[in-house]
Copies of this chain bind each other. A is one copy, B any other.
Amino acid sequence: MELAELCKRAKDTKQQVGILSTNRKNQVLLAVADKLWEKRQRIIEANHTDMENGRKSNMPEGLLDRLLLTEERIKDMGEGLRQVAALEDPIGEVLSMKRRPNGLMIGRKRVPLGVIGIIYESRPNVTSDAFGLCFKTGNVVILRGGKDAIHSNRAVVEVIRGALEECGVAKTAVSLIEDTSHETAAEFMKMNAYVDVLIPRGGAGLIRTVVENATIPVIETGTGNCHIFVDESADFDMACDIIFNAKTQRIGVCNACESLLVHKNILDAFMPVIEKRLAEKQVEIRADKEILQVSVEGANVVPATEEDWGKEYLDYKISAKSVESLDEAIAHINRYNTGHSEAIITNNYVNAERFLNEVDAAAVYVNASTRFTDGFEFGFGAEIGISTQKLHARGPMGLLALTSSKYIIYGNGQIR
């Protein structure tokens, strides 16, 4: 089917999906969960084709692992949908309703965004996850997954559409763009007439491409060059535990710590301790000259270049810089960060408050690991991504980020 036609059908479905009751939507989500399990053999076969193609084209092991679907993973996909079904439905809530002097009652009501486009890479589980979150919030979704996962995605979408039809909902509530060429993706990003919002999910390259090419409004989910600043008054044990956790608990994630700032007055005392701790996981420290000077012999410390301050390693590496003051720490972070998550370790009240106020990022922490920036950890029950832009949604995005509002006005003949 032509892309424009697919998008038009999605738009034509949004009125129906937007007014479904919560019960109907939950019924569909549970039906999809059941059906994914029922058709697991068929999905695994389709996935097998993708895996074989991946191996033929020498896909790296890490990517092959992301692409793989097993019974266990299909069970998890269903479990995810059941969890979304259990969440409160935000649609229809009237956020406020006020009476104006002329008697007009003006209310603000939570409504779906409409048609959401999701552009993602090789994980086929995103297909059911994204459908679940979008459908629960009354949105129609158009999926454009990666070429590598096309057979798996097609099988999963077929299952979802089957469940939709069995529940009496138009199957065009979800669509998959089967032509995975770059040209079609570029065309999709300009379908303003039909698509309300685009959410890219993937690496920095994908996100940049979408931001640069889309004319549809985009929610940018971003990379994380997250800092931890160890202030003069920090508790060293706490600082070590937090840095170790934020750097090494999971290295490939956007909320991992990538850069360490240490107050110059504690360099001598603190650096040997944290160097030793990070050595447990062979973390390489890329340090400025002040830190190099105080490093203990045998520590895994190498000189940093200017480039290191802006780097998201996603690896057992961390940059480290000494700073003269809180002001220098804040200025450095505001210059090099990606607006994701930043932390200060301190016992100083004024510095804690200044850091919270003056650092410009989606999530700013005092005395806790940056690893908590996550929809589940924040208590949203689900997550469609972490926004690093300031429009619409900032930080972990749960169901609310997939909604808009409209003004509803009750009059009795008012004119201006």
Residues on A lying within 8 angstroms of B by beta carbon are 14-15, 18-19, 98, 100, 104, 106, 111, 113-114, 192, 196-197, 211-212, 215, 217-220, 235, 238, 241-242, 244-246, 249, 330-331, 334, 356-358, 360-369, 371-373, 377-379, 389-392, 394-395, 404-416
A394 contact from B331, B405, B410, Cβ within 8 A: B405
A409 contact from B104, B372, B392, Cβ within 8 A: B372
A366 lies within 8 A of B406 (CB): no
Chain B residues near A212 (CB, 8 Å)?
215
Q: Top 8 closest A-B pairs, CB basis?
A: A368-B411, A245-B415, A390-B404, A392-B392, A363-B407, A391-B392, A368-B414, A367-B411
Chain B residues near A113 (CB, 8 Å)?
390-391
Min CB–CB distance A210 → chain B (angstroms): 10
Known: A379-B98, A406-B362. A391 touches B217 (CB 8 A): yes
Min CB–CB distance A92 → chain B (angstroms): 8
Known: A192-B211, A360-B114. A391 touches B365 (CB 8 A): no
Total identical chains: 2
**Could you jot down 16 A-B contacts, CB within 8 Å?**
A15-B358, A113-B391, A114-B360, A192-B211, A197-B390, A197-B391, A211-B215, A217-B217, A238-B413, A249-B415, A364-B406, A365-B411, A366-B411, A368-B413, A369-B411, A394-B407
Q: Bound state CA distance, A352 and B223, in angstroms? A: 46
Min CB–CB distance A107 → chain B (angstroms): 9
A416 lies within 8 A of B215 (CB): no
A389 lies within 8 A of B98 (CB): no
B365 lies within 8 A of A409 (CB): yes
